[in-house]
Structure 1
Amino acid sequence: MDWINLVVEMAMPVVLAIVTLLVGLAVIKVLVNIISKQIYKSKLDESLKPFIMSVISIGLKLLLVVSVVGILGIPTASFVAILGSFGLALGLAFQGSLSNLAGGVLLLTMRPFKVGDYIEGAGYSGTVKAIQILYTELVTPDNKMIYVPNGNMSNSGIVNYSVHDTRRVDFTFGVGYEADNQHVLDTLKQIVLKHPKVLLDPEPFVRLSGHGDSAVEYTVRAWTKADDYWDVHFDLLEEVKTTFDKESISIPYPQMAIHTVND
């Protein structure tokens, strides 16, 4: 019966470790939910909240693994040393992931953008939904989710369209050479100034800016609130076309003059 006692003695730590693991995972899930609710209710920056929750979840699970290893009778110090060596080897194998981790820390430290900002970076654009440990989540205007590695994001140029309250809408319109210059300028100024979402300070800019091959070019620059940018952009485009037609101001097609010489 000694072998039965031996099996029981060996099985007990294994069973206890399994129970501890299962109960521990359940407890961690509950704790993470409770902490998550408190963090998301707090006044912490929205960009930090997902990152902090990821770190807490991973940290608690690592502690649970160390506890389970201790229950199995494996010396904790030795396990930590082995875990460190394994982590080093794993780090060398997954240098990209470590780069993403460092990129996430850099983004949260330098804070070139925050949750809710509309940005361009690493070849993608969208509204920032969350900054995770390894990835930044972007939501595109057509509601697609993009997961951009933090390493790529932190090492690329980032354009943040949400930093300032106002933005400038820029246009270049081509007009036929036969059109009266002052008439065109007055018409464009009237179109811009009558739009209710165009700001008068800074004053809108309307000037002749170039002589093209087929058209005289006019530059229009108008300031508006950042939230109204696309409304102003499309409204002015439509209004210019409509008004030019009414005022008989032509928008010419590209033209090429060909001269033939008869021998």
Structure 2
Amino acid sequence: MDIETVADEIVLIATEYGLDVIGAIIILIIGNIISKQVPKVLQKVMDKRGIDPTVSQFLCNFARFAILAITLLLVLAQFGVQTASLIAVLGAAGLAIGLALQGTLSNVAGGVMLLIFRPMRVGNYVEAGGHGGTVKNITLFTTELATVDNIQVLIPNGQVWGSAIRNYSFHPTRRMDLVIGIAYEDDIDKARDIIDRLIKADERSHKEPAHVIEVIELADSSVNFTVRVWCDNGNYFPLKFALTKAIKQTFDKEGISIPYPQRTVHMLTEN
């Protein structure tokens, strides 16, 4: 094959595929630029709206790879490759992978929902997924809790998002409830006045909403009061502990008894 024949072949190839090659290069350049710029714009928008960094990073990476995948398909189409069949193959492969990893994908979806809607934040005490504890971390796959005795609990996000979430730290105030029993022989009004005085004396109890002290039950061995007091969320347990102790000590001084279940046994003897 002489030089003239080679030159003719090169000219023929360049004439037939030259525009396609140039178009593919242009598509690659534009696609690469877009894949870098779009995530930056998305990142700025999500930062302004206060979206969690974990979620924003995940969405930005997803957008970048999606744009690159579309760019690759456009390049193949430029050379006449039937992308419809390729898309069908990729779709089938994606479906198979999705079915195999459906548990993991549900956890990722749950993590995204938790990070976007923020039903709980780090430091909140919650009950979620059948467990209770203080939230230490929320990732795309798991939620980490620390129980009251400082045991780490890792819950898949699919379980957390798919169940009821009770956030005890969400509101700044919280109602503290006590049930106090006195003997049937004791003075109900006197006991109520003592509880009322102790609540008012503790500065951690709120004036509004007003506290409630009412007889709720005539039990087997006691007359039971329900005591409801509003306080700051952080004072819930300190106030509950202090009031319980103060009520017991003051009842002892004032001669009001707190009964406990008793059982009378009659011994039968044969004559």
Normalising by the residue count of structure 1, what TM-score does the alignment of the two structures yield?
0.68
TM-aligned CA deviation for residue 153 of structure 1 = 0.8
What is the rounded CA distance, in whole Å, between the counterparts of 2:165 and 2:265 in structure 1? 46
TM-aligned CA deviation for residue 61 of structure 1 = 9.7
CA contact (8 A) 1:120 1:160 kept: yes
Identity %: 40
What is the rounded CA distance, in whole Å, between the counterparts of 2:90 and 2:146 in structure 1? 37
Instruction: Choose which of 97, 107, 111 in structure 2 pairs with 1:100.
Output: 107
1:118 aligns with 2:110: no
1:49 aligns with 2:53: yes
Report the counterpart of residue 97 of structure 2 in structure 1. 90
What is the rounded CA distance, in whole Å, between the counterparts of 1:138 and 1:222 in structure 2? 28
TM-aligned CA deviation for residue 194 of structure 1 = 0.7
1:128 aligns with 2:135: yes
CA contact (8 A) 2:121 2:135 kept: yes
> CA separation of 1:88/1:173 partners in 2, compared to 1, >3 Å: closer, same or farther?
same
Which SS does the other structure have where 2:250 is aligned? helix
Alpha-carbon RMSD: 3.4
CA contact (8 A) 2:55 2:116 kept: no
Report the counterpart of residue 226 of structure 2 in structure 1. 219
> CA separation of 1:169/1:135 partners in 2, compared to 1, >3 Å: closer, same or farther?
same
Report the counterpart of residue 141 of structure 1 in structure 2. 148
Instruction: Choose which of 214, 218, 241 in structure 1 pairs with 2:248.
Output: 241
Count of equivalent residues: 218
Which SS does the other structure have where 1:128 is aligned? strand
**Unaligned stretches of 5+ in structure 2?**
1-39, 69-82
Instruction: Choose which of 208, 215, 220 in structure 2 pairs with 1:201.
Output: 208
Q: What are the superposed Cα offsets for residues 39-67 of structure 1, whole Å, 9 maximum, x if unpaired?
A: 9xx67647x22333456678889999xxx
- Counterpart of 2:171, as a letter, is H
What is the rounded CA distance, in whole Å, between the counterparts of 1:116 and 1:79 in structure 2? 48
- Counterpart of 2:111, as a letter, is G
- Counterpart of 1:125, as a letter, is G
CA contact (8 A) 2:142 2:155 kept: yes
Which SS does the other structure have where 1:178 is aligned? coil
- Counterpart of 1:91, as a letter, is G
Higher radius of gyration, 1 or 2? 2
1:255 aligns with 2:255: no
TM-aligned CA deviation for residue 110 of structure 1 = 3.6
- Counterpart of 1:158, as a letter, is I
1:152 aligns with 2:159: yes
> CA separation of 1:142/1:222 partners in 2, compared to 1, >3 Å: closer, same or farther?
same
TM-aligned CA deviation for residue 137 of structure 1 = 2.1
What is the rounded CA distance, in whole Å, between the counterparts of 2:213 and 2:205 in structure 1? 13
What is the rounded CA distance, in whole Å, between the counterparts of 1:43 and 1:174 in structure 2? 55
> CA separation of 1:81/1:135 partners in 2, compared to 1, >3 Å: closer, same or farther?
farther
CA contact (8 A) 1:118 1:161 kept: yes
> CA separation of 1:58/1:142 partners in 2, compared to 1, >3 Å: closer, same or farther?
farther
What is the rounded CA distance, in whole Å, between the counterparts of 2:88 and 2:144 in structure 1? 35
TM-aligned CA deviation for residue 84 of structure 1 = 5.6
Q: What are the superposed Cα offsets for residues 199-250 of structure 1, whole Å, 9 maximum, x if unpaired?
A: 1111111111110001110111100001111111111111111111111211
What is the rounded CA distance, in whole Å, between the counterparts of 2:48 and 2:233 in structure 1? 25
Which SS does the other structure have where 1:174 is aligned? strand
What is the rounded CA distance, in whole Å, between the counterparts of 2:247 and 2:189 in structure 1? 16
